[in-house]
Amino acid sequence: MVSDSVIRWRLRLRSSLEEVFRLLVTDDGRGRFWARTKQTGDAIDFHFPNGYRCRESILRCDALRRFELTYFGGRAVFELDSSDGATVLSLSHHDVAQCDWI
């Protein structure tokens, strides 16, 4: 693991903060765009279309603003903001090994 490696994405979406946040923090929402999941407390079991499965932990969840979890040995941080009637989603994946940068 490389402690200072971060991959960042920023998206501008024509959906409300509430809708985008719901997609991130619910099993039904994550299943629509990411992977099938089963959340129990602060643990999320991911089931990907290729058959891969993993269990990750929710580290922080601030309604309509931030969702943070462990993800593939690193930490994924989703931050939401509104701008001109759209939602800005910033995703940063921290501590990603360079061999995983593709």
Domains and CATH numbers, the chain: 6-100 (3.30.530.20)
Percentage of the chain lying above the pLDDT 90 cut: 80
Q: What is the pTM of this model?
A: 0.89
Confidence of residue 96 (pLDDT cuts 50, 70, 90): confident
Element (H, E) at 61: strand 53-62
> What is the per-residue burial (b if ≥16 Cβ within 10 Å, else e) of 13-37?
eeeebeebbbbbbeeebbeeeebeb
